[in-house]
Structure 1
Amino acid sequence: MTNARTNKWLRWVASVVLGLAVVGALCVKAKPADEVILTIGESYTQIRQQSHSTLPVLTSENRINLYVRRPAVLRFSDPQYGFVTPAAKFLSLYADKNGNVAQLTLSPQVETLPLDEAVSVAVNLQDQLRRAHWRSILTVDHPPIMNTPAMRAAIHSGANPQTFWLAGDRYQVSLDIRRFNSESWGNGERYLITLQLSGPPLMTDRLSD
């Protein structure tokens, strides 16, 4: 094979490889993100069917910790009180003895976040709750998380602010931000958001202002 023919063949191979790489990248980009779609009280089996996620098959051994193995967005699909979270690396469901989901816990992030980003995520989630007519309760001691110097200082100091929300007489949410310490970040700081969602029995707002 002459050098000219060899070079032509190599260029053809390179073009094919490049084309396959481009197609692969487009397929990855077009693939929908994992998503868990549910309302509290739904059958876990139905939730698995309507979601695109790595939620496991329900067994008697795993019903208290049904967690995704790949990050997934939570779409809380109640028609009145629905909201959507960013993708969560940690998302775990709890199913009762009848196989219905009674509670979930998630951290709506795929990695621990700088303070600015963590506060932004928390504020966005609270804005969604307000628009969906959730009501903040126990606000004297647990005000909503806000992007203010005082709130940021409290989060930075390790006060771990937590806020509570009610959706009529149907659901409750707690949301908090905690400082996450690790020597691997040197002088950097990272923060972890935790959201818990459940149905009755609900908290009361008798201490609310």
Structure 2
Amino acid sequence: MNFRRWIDGWRFILLIVLAVTLLRWCIDSTLDDFEISLNINEPWEDMLQRSNAAIGPIPSGKVWSNKSRSGVCLRFNDPDYGFVTPLARYFTITSKNGRVGAVRLSPQIEPLPLDDALKVVLGLHDQWRKKGWVAAKVLDDPVIADTPEWRAWLRDGTGYAMSFWLAGDRYQLMLDLEPFNRSRHRTDQRYLIFVTLAEPWLPFEYAEHARIKDHSITPVFPSKSDGAPPCQLPPS
């Protein structure tokens, strides 16, 4: 008899745990972030009204950041140069005088194997090219490609890749691809991708000298071997 009561008690506790778990899942699904739709230099309130993600008011510290459980994608809403990223778990937006400043995100939910990371990077490249973005500074930081040379460079465990893109004189993009845990001896290496979008912060005379339209002459992998970015992030 006591044994049956003990079993019934554990069943009751298990049902309570399952009910609480289901309730939390339902709440998270309802409140989860989905999409942030914005334009650079637009009023912060315009971004709030257009987005269905849980963005707060203008941040007092000039930087709004978010860590979403299931991810939130960026929809860059410019009519000429717009694009959409995969879901990002980490997302940061700066505010300048009540307007949207720079955006920095990692368009992935978790560190990715090289094959998956390259798919994300090349998918973004395709969108940017179709919308008129042009690769810049390619002699120093060539556009990442799915080639044996690039794969060898990245699988080394210490290789760091960076590329710059320009949308006329209106916007600038920086894409970083780097090992999550830098080691030459890891067999399960994972990679992080970062995208930074802002008004131009790299001087155009510096970017323009290396701009080329014929991507076929772009070097297949970078010449530098250190992981230090050569350029500063956009000012907040």
Superposition TM-score tier, normalisation by shorter sequence: 0.7 to 0.9
CA-CA distance at 1:33 after TM superposition: 6.2
Q: Is the 8 A contact 2:39 2:77 kept in 1?
A: yes
Equivalent pair of 1:56/1:67 in contact (CA under 8 Å): no
Give me the whole-angstrom Cα distance separating, in 2, the residues matched to 1:32 and 1:102: 24
Structure 2: how far apart are the matches of 1:31 and 1:201? 35
Provide the secondary structure at the position in 1 that maps to 2:47: helix
Secondary structure (helix, strand or coil) at the match of 2:140 reads coil
Q: Give the conservation status (yes or no) of the 8 Å contact 1:55–1:69.
A: no
Superposed CA offset, 1:10-58 (max 9, x none): xxxxxxxxxxx9xx99xx6x99961000010111122112101122222
SS in 1 for 2:37: strand
Task: Please say if residues 178 and 191 of structure 2, whose CA atoms lie closer than 8 Å, have aligned partners that are also in contact.
Answer: yes
Assess if the C-alpha contact under 8 Å between 2:59 and 2:95 holds in 1.
no
Aligned partner letter, 1:66: W
**1:140-163 Cα shifts (integer Å, max 9, x gaps):** 121111111111111222221111
2:91–2:104: 8 Å Cα contact kept in structure 1?
Answer: yes
Displacement of 1:170: 0.3
TM-score by length of 1: 0.78
SS in 1 for 2:49: helix
What amino acid is the match of 1:90?
Y
Q: What letter is aligned with 1:195? A: V
Measured in 1, the distance between the counterparts of 2:140 and 2:166 equals 16
Change (3 A) 1:177 1:200: closer
Structure 1: any 5+ residue segments left out of the alignment?
Answer: 1-20
> Over residues 53-96 of structure 1, what are the superposed CA-to-partner deviations in whole Å (9 max), with x where a residue is unaligned?
122222323x2x21224220100010000000000001100011
The amino acid of 2:165's aligned partner reads: W
TM-score (norm 2): 0.70
Distance 1:188 1:201 in 2: 36
Q: Take 1:152 and 1:187, find their aligned partners in 2: how far apart are those partners?
A: 14
Identity %: 36
> Is residue 54–residue 69 contact of structure 1 (8 Å, CA) maintained in 2?
no
Alignment gaps of 5+ in structure 2: 1-21, 213-236
Deviation (angstroms), 1:200: 3.2
Q: Which residue of 1 aligns with 2:209?
A: 206
Q: Show the 5 A alignment for 1:189-204.
A: 189-203=189-203, 204=207
Structure 1's consecutive aligned runs of 4 or more residues displaced over 6 angstroms after TM superposition are 30-33
Whole-angstrom distance in 2 between the partners of 1:112 and 1:74: 18
CA distance in 2, matches of 1:154, 1:66: 34
Once the two structures are superposed, the pairs formed by residues 41-56 of structure 1 within 5 Å of their partners are 41-56=41-56
Q: CA deviation at 1:201?
A: 4.0
CA–CA separation in structure 2 for the residues paired with 1:126 and 1:46 = 27
C-alpha contact (below 8 Å) 2:33/2:54 kept by paired residues: no
**Structure 1: distance between partners of 2:141 and 2:187:** 29
Return the offset for 1:197.
Answer: 0.4
Q: Following TM superposition, by how much is the alpha carbon of 1:116 offset from its aligned partner in structure 2, in angstroms?
A: 0.3
In the TM superposition, what is the alpha-carbon distance from 1:115 to its structure 2 partner? 0.4
* Superposed CA RMSD: 2.6
The answer as to whether partners of 1:40 and 1:199 remain within 8 angstroms in 2 is: yes
CA drift of 1:181 comes to 1.0
Q: How does 1:64-103 map to 2 (within 5 A)?
A: 65-70=63-68, 71-96=71-96, 98-103=97-102
Q: Which moved more, 1:164-173 or 1:39-48?
A: 39-48
- 1:202 Cα deviation (Å)? 4.5
1:15-34 correspondence to structure 2 within 5 Å: 34=34
